[in-house]
């Protein structure tokens, strides 16, 4: 596909990296799901904002990790190792807009590394800065339940998920740690994703 005369197509929320990592597949192979690198390349997609979801078991829910930061680091390591190998022929890590343009012109897929939920940060700005240095460029502050940054529109009630209810639940809002994280993200030039956040 000749992309030289078209604007880049960007998938603003995709789980390709997550799915490849969790299934033990190679990043550039057919994952048999909604989207993958071969499908994106065939459709002329220049970039995908990855949505890696690593919830914290301490917050609740059956999908949580007891060590969310370690899991995030494993995913980032997987991405870097894949791109250093065969997948590097088909994809790249985008940390600037120029990288997306490069992918667009070369027919590769640029992965803009992001997290869906800031659970792994636990409100620690040094963790945010370290993840930024490793390539993180966007962050959804919350996904499910509460974390150190704020409250999501869905909360865990024991083993079940339900919608946040301001009449019953403690006040849901952006926390002071959440404000500090947003301030640091703005300083670094990261995208702040408020999807799933309770209005407060």
**For residue 173, is it within any domain?**
no
Out of 37-41, 160-164, 173-177, 194-198, which region has the weakest mean confidence (pLDDT)? 160-164
**For residue 99, is it within any domain?**
yes
**For residue 14, is it within any domain?**
yes
Confidence of residue 53 (pLDDT cuts 50, 70, 90): confident
**For residue 147, is it within any domain?**
no
Choice between 59 and 179, residue whose per-residue pLDDT is larger = 179
The CATH number given to whatever domain includes residue 112 is 3.20.20.140
Confidence of residue 35 (pLDDT cuts 50, 70, 90): confident
**For residue 16, is it within any domain?**
yes
**What pLDDT is attached to residue 58?**
67
Residue 40 has pLDDT above 80, yes or no: yes
String of DSSP letters for the chain: ---TTSPPEEEEEE-HHHHHHHHT--TTS--SSS--HHHHHHTTEEEEEE-B---BGGG-STT-BSSHHHHHHHHHHHHHHHHHTGGGGTEEE-SSHHHHHHHHHHT-EEEEEEEES-GGGTT-HHHHHHHHHTTEEEEES-SSSB-SS-BBSEEEETTEEEE--TTTSPPP---HHHHHHHHHHHHHTPEEE-TTBPP-
**For residue 200, is it within any domain?**
no
**What pLDDT is attached to residue 142?**
93
Say how many domains are in the chain. 1
Read off the pLDDT of residues 102-134 as tens digits, 9 standing for 90 and up.
999 999 999 999 999 999 999 999 999 999 999
Identify the domain containing residue 28 by its residue range.
9-140
**For residue 178, is it within any domain?**
no
What pTM, to 2 d.p., does this model score? 0.90
Read off the pLDDT of residues 56-85 as tens digits, 9 standing for 90 and up.
776 666 667 778 999 999 999 999 999 999
**For residue 116, is it within any domain?**
yes
């Amino acid at each position: 596909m000749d992309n030289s005369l078209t604007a880049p197509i960007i998938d603003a929320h995709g789980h390709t990296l997550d799915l490849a990592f969790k299934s033990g597949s190679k990043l550039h192979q057919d994952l048999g799901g909604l989207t993958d690198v071969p499908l994106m390349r065939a459709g002329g997609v220049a970039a995908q904002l990855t949505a890696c979801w690593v919830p914290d078991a301490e917050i609740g829910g059956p999908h949580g990790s007891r060590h969310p930061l370690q899991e995030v680091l494993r995913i980032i390591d997987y991405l870097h190792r894949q791109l250093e190998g065969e997948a590097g022929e088909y994809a790249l890590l985008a940390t600037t807009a120029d990288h997306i343009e490069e992918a667009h012109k070369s027919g590769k897929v640029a992965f803009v590394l992001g997290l869906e939920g800031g659970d792994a940060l636990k409100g620690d700005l040094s963790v945010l800065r370290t993840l930024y240095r490793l390539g993180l460029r966007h962050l959804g502050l919350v996904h499910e339940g509460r974390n150190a940054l704020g409250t999501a529109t869905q909360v865990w009630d024991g083993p079940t998920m339900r919608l946040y209810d301001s009449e019953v639940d403690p006040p849901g809002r952006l926390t002071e740690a959440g404000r500090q994280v947003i301030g640091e993200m703005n300083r670094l030039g990261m995208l702040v994703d408020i999807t799933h956040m309770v209005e407060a």
